[in-house]
Structure 1
Amino acid sequence: MSRVGVLVLGPAGAGKSTFCNSIISHMQTIGRRAHIVNLDPAAEPNKYEFTIDIRDLISLEDVMEELELGPNGSLIYCFEYLLKNLDWLDEEIGDYNDEFLIFDCPGQIELYTHVPVLPQIVRHLQGQLNFNLCATYLLEAPFVIDTSKFFSGALSAMSAMILLELPHINILSKLDLIKDDFNKKKLKRFLNPDAMLLANSADEETNPKFQHLNQCIANLVDDFGMVQFLPLEANNAESVATILSYIDDVTQWAEGQEPQEPNDQIDIEEM
C-alpha cells in the first residue's frame, strides 16, 4: 500500500501552520487520522503537537549558536544535515501506512524554488518510502490583491512546481482578513487569473519603464497555464473540506484504502 502525504509550502507568514492545524482538525471530525511532520527546524507546535519533528535531529538555534551562521545559512545547513541522515526520517515515519502525513515546510522559499534540497527529500519519500505526494503552495490573499505582488507570488509558485515535479495545488489563504466588498470582488480575478488582463492592470499601477517586464512575466504565466488558486478560510470547515477533496483526488487517497467488509459498513452506518 502506498502512503499519502501533502507538502505545505509558501512564504513566511502565509498561514502554513494554521492550514496544517485546520486540516488535522477537519480530519478528526470526519474520522480520519493525520499527523504533522515538522520540517522547519525553527518552528514551535501550535494547536497540535508534531508527530515527527526535525528538531529532534537538528535545530536552527543550535546551528546558529555552534557554527555562528545567520538564519538562512543555518537553515540550509539543517537540511543538508537531514539529507545525510535520511535514515532518521525513515525510522521516524516508520509504520504510518494508513495515516495521512502533512509535511509542514519552512517559509524560506529558496529551499523549493532554486536550491535542490527539498526535491531530494521528495524523491526519497517517493522512491524509498512509496509515498503518493502532492504540494500545496500558499499565498496570502491580502498580498496578491496588488497585481505586481500577485505576479511575484505566481512566479515563486511556478518555480516550486517545476523544481519539485509534484501534483500542485495553489491556495490563497487568509481570505477572512479581506473585509471590504471592493477588495473581495477584486480578489476573484486572481483565483483563475487571466495573466494578460492582469498585466494591463499592472501597467496602470507601475512606472511605465516596467511595462515591458510586466508583459514578459504575464506571457510566462500565461504560457505555462498552471497558475490557479483555491480560496482558503482556515476557520471555515467547508473551505478546508474543499481543499482536502482536491488533495485526496491528486494523491488518490481513496484508491489506497482497504475495502470494508459488509458487516463493517453496516456498523458504521448504525453509529
Structure 2
Amino acid sequence: MPRYAQLVIGPAGSGKSTYCSNMVKHGETIRRNFHVVNLDPAAEHFDYPVLVDVRELIQVDDAMEDESLRFGPNGGLVFCMEYLAQNFDWLHEQLEDIEDDYILFDCPGQIELYTHIPVMKQLVEELLKWNFHVCTVYLIDSQFLIEASKFVSGVLTALSTMMNLETPHVNVMTKLDLLTKKDKKNLERYLEPSMQGLLYEEFEDDKFSKKFKKLNSAIASMIDDYSLVRFLPLDQSEEESINDVLLQVDTCLQYGEDLEPREMRDYEEDPDDDYVDSGFDG
C-alpha cells in the first residue's frame, strides 16, 4: 500500500502550523486520520499532536550555542536541516511502523530551503524511496498578495519552489479570514490573475525604464501562457474551504485509489449528524 505525504511549506508566518492544526481537526470531522511531523528545529509549540519531532534529533539552539559553529538563527536553521539530511535513517525509523500513513510534514519557514538549497529536494527523494506519494502544499499569506508587486514576488517564489522540488504542487492563499472587506473584494483578481494586467497597473509610470518594463512583460507572459501558478483560497473559519483544499491535494496524491471500499454501514448517517464526508476513509 502506498503512503501519502503533504509537504507543508512557505515563508515564515504564512500559517503552516495553523494549516496542519486545522487539517487535523478537519480530519476528525470527516473521520480521517492525519499525522503531523514537525520538521522545524526552531519550533516552540504546537496546536496539534506531534507524531515525530525533529527537535529530538537537533535544535537550532544546539547550532547557535556551539562555540565551534557560532551560527545565527538563519545559519543555524540551515545547518540543522542539513544535519537531518545526513540522518534520514533516523526519520525513516520514526515513520516505519506508522498506521494510517497520511502524514503532514510541517516544514521551516526558511525560504531558501525550497528555492535553491538541496535539502528539501533530498527529503522528497527519500520519501519517494519510502513509498510515499508526495504533494507540496505551498502557503502564502493573503495579506502579502493584495499588492501587485508583492504578488509577483510570491508567484516567482512559488514557481522557483515548484521547479526545485519537482513534485505535484498546490499553492494556497491563507488567512483570508483576516482580510478587510475591501481587500476581499480585490482578492478575486489574484486567484485567477492576468499577470500582464497586474504588472501594467504596477509599473505603468514613466519612472520605470523600457528594459525594466520589457523584463516584467516577459515574466508575466511566461506565467500567463503556461498557467504555471494559481492559488487556492483558504479561510480557516470555513469547513468547506478547508475541504476544498484537501480535495485538491488528495487528487494530486491520487489518494483513495488503492483503498478498499467502505462497507455500506459506514455510509449510514445519523439524521442529526452534519459532518462533511470526503468520500475516502483514511
Query: Which TM-score band applies after superposition, normalised by the shorter structure?
Result: over 0.9
Q: Find the counterpart in structure 2 of residue 266 from structure 1.
A: 265
Aligned amino acid, residue 178 of structure 1:
L
- The alpha carbon displacement at 1:259 in A equals 3.2
Q: Find the counterpart in structure 1 of residue 83 from structure 2.
A: 81
Q: Show CA shifts across 1:76-113 (max 9, x none).
A: 21111111111100011122242310001111110011
Q: Find the counterpart in structure 2 of residue 175 from structure 1.
A: 176
Normalised by the length of structure 2, the TM-score is 0.89
- The alpha carbon displacement at 1:203 in A equals 1.4
C-alpha change, 1:189 and 1:259, in structure 2 (3 Å) is same
Instruction: Find 2:218's aligned residue among 205, 216, 219.
Output: 216
Kindly, what percent of the aligned residue pairs are identical?
Answer: 47
Taking the aligned partners of 1:244 and 1:142, their CA distance within structure 2 comes to 22
C-alpha change, 1:125 and 1:188, in structure 2 (3 Å) is same
Alignment of 1:37-116 (within 5 A): 37-66=37-66, 67-116=69-118
Runs of 5+ in structure 1 lacking a partner? none
SS in 2 for 1:14: coil
Runs of 5+ in structure 2 lacking a partner? 271-282
Residue 124 of structure 2 corresponds to residue 122 of structure 1: yes
* Aligned 8 A contact 1:9 1:107 in 2: yes
SS in 2 for 1:36: strand
C-alpha change, 1:234 and 1:87, in structure 2 (3 Å) is same
C-alpha change, 1:270 and 1:185, in structure 2 (3 Å) is closer
Q: Show CA shifts across 1:1-24 (max 9, x none).
A: 000010111111111111111111
Taking the aligned partners of 1:242 and 1:14, their CA distance within structure 2 comes to 19
Q: Show CA shifts across 1:85-144 (max 9, x none).
A: 1110001112224231000111111001111110011011002x1000101111111111
- The alpha carbon displacement at 1:268 in A equals 5.2
Q: Find the counterpart in structure 2 of residue 32 from structure 1.
A: 32
Taking the aligned partners of 1:51 and 1:118, their CA distance within structure 2 comes to 19
Corresponding pairs, count? 266
- The alpha carbon displacement at 1:179 in A equals 1.6
Runs of 4+ in 1 over 6 A off after TM superposition: none
Taking the aligned partners of 1:51 and 1:31, their CA distance within structure 2 comes to 18
User: Comparing 146-155 with 183-192, which one deviates more in the overlay?
Assistant: 183-192
* Aligned 8 A contact 2:20 2:48 in 1: no
Aligned amino acid, residue 194 of structure 1:
S
SS in 1 for 2:265: helix
SS in 2 for 1:171: strand
Q: Find the counterpart in structure 1 of residue 155 from structure 2.
A: 154
Q: Find the counterpart in structure 1 of residue 228 from structure 2.
A: 226
Aligned amino acid, residue 36 of structure 1:
V
The alignment yields a C-alpha RMSD, in angstroms, of: 1.7
SS in 2 for 1:96: coil
Taking the aligned partners of 1:177 and 1:206, their CA distance within structure 2 comes to 35
Aligned amino acid, residue 169 of structure 1:
V
Q: Which has the larger share of helix?
A: 1
Taking the aligned partners of 2:205 and 2:51, their CA distance within structure 1 comes to 46
Taking the aligned partners of 1:56 and 1:114, their CA distance within structure 2 comes to 26
Q: Find the counterpart in structure 1 of residue 12 from structure 2.
A: 12
SS in 2 for 1:89: helix
- The alpha carbon displacement at 1:163 in A equals 0.6
- The alpha carbon displacement at 1:213 in A equals 3.6
